[in-house]
Structure 1
Amino acid sequence: MSTEPVGDEPEVRDAVSAPDAEGRPRRTTRRFPLFTRDTARPEGGGRAAPGDAPAPARQWPILLVTGLVAIGLLVTALDAFRAGTLLIGAALLCGGLLRWILPGVGMLAVRSRFTDIVTYGVLGTAIVLLALMVQPNPLLEIPFLKDTLHFTVSN
């Protein structure tokens, strides 16, 4: 697409991107820039509350998840390992659920929505399953894991 020069503005040929700040089309290249000037906010990375709300209210999703993880670590430190790790796994699953349901989660958004949901979900599920299988007296037993350990570790 070519444009004709208007007044004293330079001619722009093959404008392939959005206009610049003044509304003129700009020429772009497919090469990566030498220096990164800014980064894009992840989708859903906007505030979780209006801008006039205090900072903790704007970032309540990340505060909720980190608060639950902190309580889980405290419970684990107080010698209730299974309950503490279950709480940590539940906090990550809660983070994935918040990322899925809410349109804006503030700093809880790190990557794309799909990647965040999968990451929080897989890590939370793994921690919960490991907490349920911890010895002694596991609440969850997976038979093939015992057989795998028996065949891989020999006397």
Structure 2
Amino acid sequence: MSAERGTPDASEERAEDITVRDPVSAPDAEGRPRRTTRRFPLFTRDTARPEGGGRAAPGDAPAPARQWPILAVLLVVGLGLLLTALDQFRLGTLLVGGALLAGALLRWLVPDVGMLAVRSRFTDIVTYAGLGLVIALLALMVQPHPLLEIPFLEDALHFTVDS
């Protein structure tokens, strides 16, 4: 406040003068929004939960039941890594790729997937599906005896190595 007039300065705001312009603005301890723009401060103290980031089961269910989507994906990835370590490379990596594709499918179909939700639904689906597809395709192209052959890749390899 200004000492001479007893009126608020332009830099000071009352709680009634502050409006929340976006859903990302989180209130402070007194219920006032901390910021009114969509720009994040240098050090983010809080973020909005991703869409679908709620529990996959009721709150009174045990923790594994509430997080079953990510646990299912992680168990299949773990099995794939175990098979890869046990000299079943193609099968193991196909399982890893399939688990990521299943994660994308779960993220698309299930409304609340718990910790499987990392970013927006679109970003999660594109990321999980893209990585899963690339891993599965690479697993199918593994030598010797590839199950999938893409001719222009062999030409590209010879072009880069022979040059």
TM-score, reference length from structure 2:
0.78
Distance 1:33 1:59 in 2: 31
Aligned mates of 1:28, 1:126 — CA distance in 2: 41
Number of aligned positions between the proteins: 146
What percentage of residue pairs aligned between the two structures are identical? Answer: 71
Q: 8 Å contact 1:96–1:118 — kept in the other structure?
A: yes
- Provide closer, same or farther for how the CA distance between residues 53 and 138 of structure 1 changes in structure 2, counting only shifts above 3 A: same
Counterpart-to-counterpart distance in 2, 1:75 and 1:85: 8
Q: Secondary structure at the match of 2:137?
A: helix
Q: Given the superposition, is the C-alpha separation of residues 123 and 12 from structure 1 closer, same or farther in structure 2, using an over 3 Å criterion?
A: same
- 8 Å CA contact 1:16, 1:27 repeated in 2: no
Alpha-carbon shift at residue 15 of structure 1 (Å):
3.1
Q: Aligned letter for 1:88?
A: V
Q: Kindly indicate whether the alpha-carbon contact (under 8 Å) linking 1:86 and 1:128 is maintained by their aligned counterparts in 2.
A: yes
Shift of 1:37: 3.4
Instruction: Tell me if 1:45 matches 2:53.
Output: yes
Q: What stretches of structure 2 of length at least 5 have no aligned partner?
A: 1-13
Residue in 2 aligned with 1:3? none
**Structure 1 pair 34–79 and aligned structure 2 pair: CA distance change class (3 A):** closer
The one of 12, 16, 19 equivalent to 2:16 is 12
| Distance in 2 (alpha carbons) for counterparts of 1:153 and 1:44 | 47
Contact 2:19 2:36 in 1 (8 A): no
Pairs within 5 Å for 1:56-95: 56-95=64-103
Aligned to 2:4: none
1:146 corresponds in structure 2 to 154
1:115 and 2:119 aligned: no
- CA gap 1:72/1:11 in 2 versus in 1, 3 angstroms: closer
Partners of 2:70 and 2:116 within 8 A in 1: yes
What is the aligned partner in structure 2 of residue 135 from structure 1?
Answer: 143
Offset of residue 54 of structure 1: 0.4
Please list every run of 5 or more consecutive structure 1 residues that lacks an aligned counterpart in the other structure. 1-9
C-alpha deviation, 1:151, in angstroms:
1.2
How many Å separate the matches in 2 of 1:79 and 1:11?
64
* C-alpha displacement of 1:40: 1.4
